[in-house]
Structure 1
Amino acid sequence: MDTDSSGPPRKRLRTSHACDVCRARKIRCNGENPCAACAVAEHECTYGSEANSRGKSDLILEGVLRVERFLHEINASLGAQALPTVFPERRLALPTACSSAESFSSSPCTDVTQRFPQPQQQRTPVSEVHQLNSLENAVLDSMHTSTTEYVLQWPHFDVFPSLRNDYISIFQLEQSRPGYQTSSVSSIPELTSDEMNDILLSFEHNINFSYPTMSQPQLEAARHILMSRAVDQPSQESCLALLTMALGCASRLTSDLVPNYASSQHHTRCQHLNYRELGDGYFNKALSQLHVAHTGITSTATQSLFFVAMYFAFLRRPLQAWEYINAAAAKCLLLLSYPPTRDEPEEQERIRRIFWSCYILESDYLAELSALPQSGIARIESSIPLPGEYHTHAAPDEEEQSSLYFLACISMRRLLNRVHQLLYARGTGASLDPSRFPYVVAELDHQLEEWRDVLPAAFHFSVDYEAAAAGPPASEHGGFLRQRYLTCRSVIYRPYLMWMLSGVGGTELGGCGSGFAVSGEVLKNCKTCLDACLLHILNLRGFAHTVLVDTWICSLS
């Protein structure tokens, strides 16, 4: 300090407004124009921004928000260039190649953009473009108006008093049922190696075909645990092995109930009862160990909860099945959001497949009990990769068919959710707006036909009356997909039926009591809806998939 100066020491001179360059570089600025730093660096010196008295945290937040807005703009522009379609569902329809044989010749893990259809020419009016483009995830909204109970409340059914008298809601009926009675199982019966292999093989051909979540190494590990009698010590692996056997017994039981696709090995009623008793025994034993699955945060624990939901579906207990679907979905969301650091590719693929299985089953239940709380998995489904490479079956052909069938079911469930969302969402659905729903129906019908056209040959089916009278499709899984197709088609065209029944589907004729003249287009679309319903009834058969999983749902729809 200068001792010769009089008075208090002066403060260091500091400019109140640094130039833009110095403020960005966070260096000292002398406030001149140009300032000393810009003059040395030969930069353009500007003072375009006002002095900012906010703290560093405010400035950082402003920068983060600015970057976030910029990223959203980039994402929107890239999405518009890569997917210029007005209907997002096309991303998850089945492949559209030159022929079904060519489109399914590659492995199931082929890149999605190569296996799935490209955007088609726009056919939807401009007024619908924004609404359709704003839908990314195929979410089945709560309180939609397409449940069986809602349809039965139409005023057109007032002429049937039996539908109104002493009516009890489906949820109340299910809630009033006695709880599931578990029995204490000290030990499970000893099975021979052949008997155990038969049950596990039935699980592989049925449960693991429709919902291919269990790998061959897992099946071998389960067989080893069961043969070594290591299921008495609670663990995630032993719980999963017990549930696999329970579902295998259920699969063995239901495979004989399908008249057109039953195996050559038939069982007597006594043997069926034995399988049911054996399955319940394995299930009760698994329930006694289920705490290890609830407390574990692994794909094995998640898989166990999902298998519990599957067995409750087999027992036709939808509320219990929904509860465990939600529990499995919660663990899926956790593991997908925070994947383990040393997670193997097989583990990652397993949890994704469980995610898609929960998505299908939860949506199936929400289609009939619309007020059920949702797990939230549908909110992120567009960001989850589709099933890829995963060793689920001993036979490569069966493994490929299983993967393709799983893809077909995922795509159909997404389309069904889109139908409910666009047509029947409470308050925003287009089903009651005659100026909107014809265009939405046309687009949804196009998507449905595109889905059907690209099914592999093993799953092909016909939808005319002659084919229905001649018998079921060659494949049981093709028959089940036909039922899904007919259900979706009837729901898509139902607004026309509602429109005509409400007296809006035509012009009023002259004269008192002359009625309405129905337009040919409306009449044709009403017939499409009724034909789909009739064909669905004519093709009601005991598919193993239906008996195992969808009995309660199909009994309503």
Structure 2
Amino acid sequence: MSAISPTSNERLRRRTAHACETCRIRKTRCDGRSPCKSCVESQEVCKYREAPALPKPKGDIVLETLLKLQAEVAALSQKLDAATSYRPVQDVDSPGSTSHTAAIASMTSVASHDLDAIVPLRHLSATEMFLSWEIFDGVPAIREQFKSVYQLESQRPPMPIFSSTAFPSISLETWSNSVDSFGQNVNFWYPALHEARLQGLWDSLASFTLDGCLALLVVALGQACMHVEDRFSRQGSRRRSNPESDLGTLCFERAYSMIHNAVSEVSITAMLCLFYTAIYFSYLQRPLQTDFFLNITAHRCVVMLHYPDPTMPITDYETLRRIFWCCFILESDLVVELDKVPQSGCAQMESQIALPSKFDTHSTRDTSDLSTLYLLACISIRRLLNRIHKLLYSKESVTRMQSVPDMNLIAELAHQLDEWRDVLPPYLQFELSTQPAQNDHQGFLRQRYFAAKSVIYRPVFNYVVTMNLHGIQPPGIGDAVASAEQCLDAAYLHMTNLRGFTHTVVIDTWICALSMTGVALVLYIAWQTPSLKQKLQEKIGVDRIRNALWELKLKIDDMMLTAPEISPSVSQCVSIIEATRDVIH
């Protein structure tokens, strides 16, 4: 029997959950009927309000509130980042005006969808991976001459040891020219050295100190850039030049003999010395040594940023932060091809480091602002490229998309790439064509754009090729072929837009050689795939492809010969590009 009997239940006070309006106003009991007993007796109109919605469970209310708070925090963070990550001058006609600030806020947010943009270890997008395809089984001219890039580079003789204690003789005019070249090039692409510090290095040029080492590295890099500019015009066409001066080499060898002091010291000057040593090894086309010094520099940056010195001047802290981002860009470029090389860890914490802010790297504020804009553009496209590799080319991602590529993911990444281009400030905006860019910086970023687009659509290209190799015609293969064309179009434009920009030649010759070899191999694979070959014949034609590959071979050859010594892996790339051209007919 129930604890409450029917008899007792009847004695309980009965109340309706919803009283009519008349009873509510009179504050009389309402029985909930329509009309209710009270309104019938008083001959009043009986009306009820609309029934209220059922209340949400408390768990739903908490979750909804939490999501709203998260959205508000995210919006506030974006506003704070836009306000603090870059604060250029506000002159109306200045390249750092408010409109540019807004553009940079948009540009840096384009590549921030993941917390950390990391190229996965042992990813499957390196150029070497192409040569494992069965389509190259019958092409010994390409596959059999190939050796591992790491094997070739690790067998190179070491750098010569500088035995003399004498410093190279450098006149004030030579110093001034070298500093100007360094500032217009290296300190524009990777603006980490403050103008005041740069101008003060002259007094330390012939000293056995880290400032002396830094001064020698500035001269060496300035001389390297002058040499490259003497060989190539602004848009990269070949020019006649005089033989290279030995001054840059002598300065680097002298600085290199002192670099052990930078390895053992924890200071901003030591960080700059290590970083510029890595840059010079890029010019020498020695990727393993470049990676070694970038790794040391980036690791030291991470430690110093984790344990900040409260007495550090703001200019030194900004220098440290900029070195970190430069290492992030350059190391990410290298590990795309050296996929098994351990990384420094800077990519794992890049989401925790503030972006570069106002910094006087040049004598005029406009130039300083432009160089910061350029650095931020390079950071954002590199972050996007890292995310592309993470989402499309990790082993897990490749396994997941072996059956059918994730077209929604690919479309989203392509949208983000176009979004990045759209928010570039006017000085860096480029046309999607083969026409010469208005400046070298536009041209360099255009190369990055086409490289990224080709990599985004490559999984669809791989899928179409695989289906053709096995004679399979799955549903929707026509749409896949159309998307694979996007990969081919971007690869061809990437190849034909290659120019001898100073940034490309000094920093990216080795990376560029591997990347362009990948383009050549993609074109060969497409030529062996009937559905894609037809598209190539209709759009480009065999003669234009062969001519473009020959031009590419000459360009890479020119870039390779710019360095004081020849890289065996770059030389191998030139041979593979030539062999690929020979088998396309």
TM-score using structure 2 length: 0.69
User: Does 1:367 find its partner at 2:336?
Assistant: yes
Aligned amino acid, residue 97 of structure 2? S
Q: Provide the secondary structure at the position in 2 that maps to 1:503.
A: helix
1:491 matched to 2:491: no
**Pair 1:136–1:348, CA change in 2 (3 A):** same
Q: 1:154 to 1:81 in 2, by over 3 A?
A: farther
In the other structure, the counterpart of 1:542 is 500
CA deviation after TM superposition for structure 1 residue 112, in Å: 10
Cross-structure match for 1:247: 221
C-alpha change, 1:432 and 1:152, in structure 2 (3 Å) is farther
Paired position in structure 1 for 2:28: none
- Distance in 1, Cα, partners of 2:400 & 2:417: 18
Looking at structure 2, the residues matched to 390 and 109 of structure 1 have their Cα atoms a distance apart, in angstroms, of 16
**Contact preservation (8 Å) 1:142, 1:370:** yes
Instruction: Output the CA distance in 1 between the equivalents of 2:200 and 2:99.
Output: 25
- Native 8 Å contact 1:431 1:495 kept in 2: no
Deviations 1:59-110 (A, max 9, x none): xxxxxxxxxxxxxxx99985554449xxxxx99xx99xxxxx9996437996
Work out whether residues 210 and 262 of structure 2, in 8 Å CA contact, stay in contact via their aligned partners in 1: yes
Q: What is the aligned partner in structure 1 of residue 183 from structure 2?
A: 204
Matched AA of 1:139: I
8 Å contact kept, 2:125–2:336: yes
- Where does residue 269 of structure 1 map in the other structure? 242
Secondary structure of 1:367 counterpart: helix
Match of 1:179 among 158, 168, 192: 158
Aligned to 1:65: none
| Other-structure match for 2:440 | 476
Does residue 258 of the first structure (1) align with residue 236 of the second (2)?
no
CA distance in 1, matches of 2:284, 2:399: 37
1:184/1:284 contact within 8 Å kept: no
Report the Cα distance in structure 1 between the residues aligned to 2:110 and 2:234, rounded to whole angstroms: 39
The equivalent position to 1:524 in structure 2, one of 464, 478, 482, is 482
Alignment partner, residue 26 of structure 2:
none
Amino acid at match of 1:247: L
Query: Alignment partner for residue 458 of structure 1, among 427, 435, 450?
Result: 427
Distance 1:76 1:423, change over 3 A: farther
- The Cα of 1:531 is off from its aligned counterpart by 0.6
Find out whether 1:216 has 2:216 as its counterpart.
no
8 Å Cα contact 1:109/1:387 also seen in 2: no
RMSD value over aligned CA atoms? 3.3
Find 1:347's aligned residue among 303, 306, 316. Answer: 316
CA contact under 8 A between 2:402 and 2:463: conserved in structure 1? no
- The question of whether the paired residues in 2 share the 8 Å contact of 1:257 and 1:544 is answered with no
Give the aligned residue type for 1:208. Answer: N
Deviations 1:188-214 (A, max 9, x none): 333332221111000000000000000
Of 97, 100, 114, which residue of structure 2 is paired with 1:106?
97
Larger proportion of helix: 2
Deviation at residue 303 of structure 1 after TM alignment: 1.0
- Equivalent in the alignment of 1:313: 282
The residue aligned with 1:357 is 326
Instruction: Using the TM superposition, give the Cα deviation of residue 375 of structure 1 relative to its aligned residue in structure 2, in angstroms.
Output: 0.4
User: Is it true that 1:377 corresponds to 2:346 in the alignment?
Assistant: yes
- Match of 1:56? none
Give CA deviations for 1:149-191 in whole Å, capped at 9, x if unaligned: 0122122332323333254211111111111113324323333
CA 1:445/1:288 → structure 2, altered by over 3 Å: closer, same or farther?
same
Deviations 1:490-545 (A, max 9, x none): 0000011111111189996xxxxxx6776442222111110111111111111111
CA deviations 1:276-310 (Å, max 9, x no partner) are x1111111111222122112111111111000000
Which string of whole-angstrom CA distances, capped at 9 and with x for unpartnered residues, describes residues 405-458 of structure 1?
000000010000000000001124477245562111011001100011111222
- In structure 2, what residue type is equivalent to 1:149? E
Unaligned 5+ runs, structure 1: 1-73, 85-89, 96-100, 121-131, 509-514
Counterpart of 1:338 in structure 2 is: 307
Amino acid at match of 1:106: S
Q: Matched residue of 2:453: which SS?
A: helix
- 1:74-473 map, 5 Å: 79-83=70-74, 105-106=96-97, 114-116=105-107, 135-165=114-144, 167-226=146-205, 231-232=206-207, 234-261=208-235, 268-270=241-243, 273-274=244-245, 277-429=246-398, 432-434=401-403, 437-464=406-433, 468=434, 471-473=435-437
TM-score (norm 1): 0.72
Distance 1:104 1:416, change over 3 A: farther
Count of aligned pairs between the two proteins: 439
- Residue 522 of structure 2 is matched in structure 1 by none
Residues 359-413 of structure 1 show CA distances to partners (whole Å, capped at 9, x for unaligned) of 0110011000100011001110001000101110112222111110000000010
Letter of the aligned partner of 1:136 in structure 2? L
1:147–1:117 distance in 2 versus 1, CA, 3 Å: closer
Point out the more displaced range, 450-459 or 153-162: 153-162
